[in-house]
Structure 1
């Protein structure tokens, strides 16, 4: 999910028209658990989709894992309707957590955890490109390991480096986050610092972190049928 990490202008998009690929459990160490479909969020997908290049990098990352670990994939390409639903849902949750916040403060806090549902290149939500992935570490049976918080948990402990800075709280979670981070970044993904589970490749969020002038993945609009991508076009 995109959040605004600083005021620097985002890179431009030079769409390379790389295809959107359905991720298969073709290796015993990749498990697909489409979390928003399982939560019955409207317009969500029951399969996980990534750009071809991001999928190739993911398979490279899993080969870097020690043999007794796996990846559990929660989300990849995300339709705009799901992005809109999540932004509204998280805003409501934060209003309950911070009842004295102004509307402006709620929007600002929400954007730490959920991208504004925008298709514009200025603040393009990364999951709309097929170049973002949410994942965690698992064992060889696809059981999620301890990474310190639940996926999508809205608090400071979700920040990737939280346990690096609070070493006495959860050493196991710290080691697991470090392993996930190292394998993904060695495969050329970048991490969003407020969420240990979110990684980007070749979208504007990725380009901004690596100081690239251009991103290769722009927004994708998909036609959804039976909770699968039937067809899509580049915007």
Structure 2
């Protein structure tokens, strides 16, 4: 897979369209989860067109199923903090080579300069039923934080048929709206950022850091 640390990602140009951030909570067909809530409320915002596409994706889900967004926009400072924390964890495991640290850390936390969340282009999300209960996705959102990396990749081997079907349902509704998945994190999807541009062949990202 192409990691966010790949030079091709940073080499992808950005032609920011200037679109503002919009409040996820204003869209009735999407539920916003508070677990990643920050003081500024950034977690509950994405670019306006990203939100429109999320709404369309949620509307196309089967009756009784909807999107649960865990986190949208993230500040550059918060992104840098999370990246440093994960690098520290890898150092404690015995990894000291700077290039290898960057490669392994970027599997789960983007380098700041290309971070899709900082562009308002990415969402961490899952599926819930009509009672607000999360569907079985075979692993938790942000499972890497608890050392449960095995189930984090979208195509992780050994998933139950139910978890595989639910991941495929999530992928179908989001892919139809132009989102791309970061393969090491089944819950991370983006539209309009550098990684999206590289993976779709777009000439440039339409969203840069905001």
Q: Using structure 2 for the length normalisation, give the TM-score.
A: 0.87
Partner secondary structure for residue 136 of structure 1: strand
Match of 1:192 among 176, 182, 205: 182
Unaligned 5+ segments in structure 2 are none
Name segments (4+ residues, structure 1) moved above 4 Å: none
Q: Which runs of 5+ in 1 are unaligned?
A: 119-123, 221-235
1:193-232 to structure 2, matched below 5 A, reads: 193-220=183-210
Distance 1:46 1:210 in 2: 27
Instruction: Please say if residues 42 and 73 of structure 2, whose CA atoms lie closer than 8 Å, have aligned partners that are also in contact.
Output: no
Measure how far apart 1:185 and its partner are. 0.3
CA distance in 2, matches of 1:20, 1:72: 18
How many angstroms does 1:79 deviate by?
A: 0.7
C-alpha RMSD of the superposition: 2.1
Q: Is the 8 A contact 2:5 2:106 kept in 1?
A: no
SS of the residue 1:54 aligns to: helix
Deviation at 1:76, TM superposition (A): 0.7
Asked if the contact 2:138–2:163 (Cα under 8 Å) also holds between the matched residues in 1, the reply is: yes
The aligned counterpart of 1:73 is 69
Residue 112 of structure 2 corresponds to 117
SS at match of 2:36: helix
What pairs with 1:86-101 in structure 2 (closer than 5 Å)? 86-96=82-92, 99-101=93-95
Among residues 119, 134, 147, which one is paired with 1:129 in the alignment?
A: 119
Aligned to 2:32: 32
Q: Deviations over 1:100-125 (max 9, x none)?
A: 3224233321111001122xxxxx21
Deviation per CA, 1:36-75: give whole Å up to 9, x if none: 22xxx7x663651011110110011001100111111011
CA contact (8 A) 1:33 1:73 kept: yes
For the Cα contact (< 8 Å) 2:24–2:30, is it kept in 1? Answer: no
Cα contact 1:190–1:206 (8 A) shared by 2 = yes
**Whose strand fraction is larger, Structure 1's or Structure 2's?**
1
SS in structure 1 at match of 2:41: coil
Assess if the C-alpha contact under 8 Å between 1:131 and 1:203 holds in 2.
yes
Look up the SS of the partner of 2:106 in the other structure: helix
The 1:44/1:173 distance shift into structure 2, 3 A limit, reads: farther
Give the structure with the higher percent helix: 2
1:225 aligned partner: none
TM-score by length of 1: 0.79
Aligned to 2:155: 161
